[in-house]
Structure 1
């Protein structure tokens, strides 16, 4: 059946065509039903008539290859595809509601609302990148939200899959995408760097908080190439009340070189989730464009304008994990905390782009009224944050790679597990104390975390020699401490 003959009431491979709900530049969208599928469905059909853009066919082939391989709440479920020999189509679930494009008349949004929206999109990108896909067309009309709150990324015709042929790269020399949101390296033919999506998300965050696109509306290739050397106007120049932490995040996303951006979408989502701990640099204070000397250096520096080999998606994510370590700040935990530090140091030494989150749980009583001050009148929360930073000092991490978090909870194991899930933690390190009757009967925090956390968990015990030294009433100060045991 030719695409141009598709009409309401037609049947294609068991799908009954309903009404046309959208006519785009590359495809049309139709409602369809199927007797064996209960959820609302859409059928996407490419425009392949005489005179249509040939890129429409290639991008549709990419979408046909990629969509069936994706899963999870952040992508539309795929229920079928058809080839070009009879009728090309993709059938996906119909997400209720409108795309984020509907919010454009409301811009600029309140900072907190925009932060919440972009945080959810960043988490969706975490899921997508972990499935080896770079979207390459992050923009308001490509983003929807489920009733449960998760962001859903749609339209994969321009996407890159790390394990599939990149037909757009092979068949076209010009970059395809939405000009205002396109990352600079895309203009150089680089399509395998997931940080390109972070640039596009930075454009969206800039736009939604200022009401102005950072690079204007230009559609010419010459105009787009300016972003290889010219930075955008700092948001604080447009809005005097723009928060420094937000400008820090936006301008880091919009860095010209991918290596200067956040290494992963998970790390960006982490920053957005903890604005009070964003490390402020000169970016946060900028009120003007970079000086002409910097712009000229970028423009005529061949190293900055020449494509270079990039890590693939999986390698980029693996080299930049979020590592969390759960610490006990109570007296008598020094040997265990030292063992935790040794373990964390070993992991971080091999991962220079990793970030570390130090966690402590301030346990609340189930029926008692908890006091915020200790017996000396010190704030418990602040004291523990100071202790966490003191613990991390020997690691000598850059402040942009370190955050400290004091969680208040009745159930420490549940609090740690929830923190790891919400913040996309890749590797959690937690200590296990010595055996006791209470822990045997009720179960240890480390055992619960290890069994329930969705990430990798390393459980560390203090070195045996350190435990013996602690129990030695003679106090053998010269006794050495061996390496921690990892379970």
Structure 2
């Protein structure tokens, strides 16, 4: 039986399933119990069936890392986690309360409620930031209003940590976030600016105060990019009685340029608790969008918007990477052992580097497969476990190792894309004495060696050794 189809009364690793709480597109949530748990708990099981993407596994890895790093507080406490080689799951604290999305049928909210809830959510975002984490997927369904008056943030599968490897940024080249709330810089792939969460909070506050989304719910990249040049209808255009200070707060959060937003969530929370003290500008009273000329100027700015030119908040950080290419086509154990030994020597010589062990596989079939055991996420998970086993035999500390399964029809191109998108300073790859007869291997090794914008070391084993 798949873990996502567990019935009440069944068990998984000693956890007794009490009931299914939620079945989402990425995971299934159960209420569970076990004698050694410190309190009420839920189990989150990722969906690994056909039709799902390998990104499900990466997102699961990210959430596991973030919950462990946060240690509770503004997010649920992590109690246990499943073995990736058997059945992945996360067991975490159950927060008593309701998600913010459960109250979205009551929009628009009163001014007092918008400010009260907005402030406690901003408090939670700030507390997460103080743990060096940016959520990057703030939206009503990812916020629980607890019975004790807190806001608790859930679903950290897209989050970024200042001092942990950003697996999503390293492996994917597309916008990651929820379309109605994603910040402009996230659309360009910037994931290390805490002010991205301020933008999402502004979009959510706009929705609570007006009953509308500021940019709708676009489903294409061009639709997402409209927020660079199209100003939303001022909140007072929907709700004429809205406090001018609250409109000023919301529109400041929704600035395209992160430098013009609130610097952090603590400032936003303070403004929401005292909107009468917010300095007002002309836009505080507007009920219509800017004039055609002003929109044209905004369009010009949007066309030239370059998030790389905007200094990110000081949460960003990344160690240099040594990429170790572990190739599926090579079965020579002597060659594999030589690659492991060279990786260990390189790591000892460069103590500030991180070792990224990478394997490249062909993309999963578009139409999926008949057997869930061969689905894209199951295949990704299986290869990830094998890669971790391979890397475990490299004699360096575990904290300096990450493992990446990347899809790509062309191995050389996939590796070069990874190198160009990440701070890779050295590539280690193996080439055996009979590589001349392995066309795919030869082409990949040659292409990486010739085109990589970094040092490339080719590990070989002499014939007859």
TM-score range, shorter chain: 0.5 to 0.7
Match in the other structure for 2:90: 90
CA offsets 1:388-433 (integer angstroms, 9 cap, x no match):
xxxxxxxxxxxxxxxxxxxxxxxxxxxxxxxxxxxxxxxxxxxxxx
> Distance in 2 between the 1:274 and 1:109 partners?
17
Match in the other structure for 1:28: 28
- Cα offset, 1:306, TM superposition: 4.7
Counterpart contact for 1:130–1:314, Cα < 8 Å: no
Match in the other structure for 1:231: 231
Counterparts of 1:293-332 in structure 2 under 5 Å? 293-301=293-301, 303-308=304-309, 310-314=311-315
Match in the other structure for 1:81: 81
- Cα offset, 1:309, TM superposition: 5.8
Counterpart contact for 1:107–1:209, Cα < 8 Å: yes
Match in the other structure for 2:201: 201
Query: CA distance change for structure 1 residues 315 and 163 in 2, over 3 Å: closer, same or farther?
Result: closer
Counterparts of 1:400-415 in structure 2 under 5 Å? none
Match in the other structure for 1:51: 51
Three-state SS of the structure 2 residue aligned to 1:31 is strand
Match in the other structure for 1:181: 181
- The aligned length equals 316
> Distance in 1 between the 2:160 and 2:223 partners?
25
Query: CA distance change for structure 1 residues 9 and 279 in 2, over 3 Å: closer, same or farther?
Result: same
Counterpart contact for 1:3–1:48, Cα < 8 Å: no
Q: Bigger relative contact order, structure 1 or 2, given CA contacts below 8 A and separation 6+?
A: 2
2:268 aligned with 1:268, yes or no?
A: yes
Query: CA distance change for structure 1 residues 196 and 169 in 2, over 3 Å: closer, same or farther?
Result: same
> Distance in 2 between the 1:306 and 1:163 partners?
21
- Cα offset, 1:60, TM superposition: 0.9
> Distance in 1 between the 2:279 and 2:292 partners?
27
Match in the other structure for 1:461: none
Counterparts of 1:12-411 in structure 2 under 5 Å? 12-301=12-301, 303-308=304-309, 310-314=311-315
> Distance in 2 between the 1:153 and 1:312 partners?
21
Counterpart contact for 2:119–2:269, Cα < 8 Å: yes
More off after superposition, 197-206 vs 64-73? 64-73
Query: CA distance change for structure 1 residues 39 and 313 in 2, over 3 Å: closer, same or farther?
Result: farther
Counterpart contact for 1:228–1:256, Cα < 8 Å: yes
Q: Scaled by the length of structure 1, what TM-score is found?
A: 0.62
Query: CA distance change for structure 1 residues 313 and 124 in 2, over 3 Å: closer, same or farther?
Result: farther
> Distance in 1 between the 2:176 and 2:83 partners?
23
Three-state SS of the structure 1 residue aligned to 2:16 is strand
Three-state SS of the structure 2 residue aligned to 1:29 is strand
CA offsets 1:117-149 (integer angstroms, 9 cap, x no match):
101101111100000111111111111122220
> Distance in 1 between the 2:112 and 2:6 partners?
45
CA offsets 1:168-220 (integer angstroms, 9 cap, x no match):
21222111221111111111111111111111111111111111111112222
Three-state SS of the structure 2 residue aligned to 1:222 is helix
Counterpart contact for 2:4–2:46, Cα < 8 Å: no
> Distance in 2 between the 1:11 and 1:224 partners?
43
Three-state SS of the structure 1 residue aligned to 2:41 is strand
> Distance in 2 between the 1:144 and 1:52 partners?
26
Q: Scaled by the length of structure 2, what TM-score is found?
A: 0.64
> Distance in 2 between the 1:51 and 1:278 partners?
49
Counterpart contact for 2:4–2:45, Cα < 8 Å: no
Unpaired stretches in structure 2, ≥5 consecutive residues? 318-465
- Cα offset, 1:285, TM superposition: 2.4
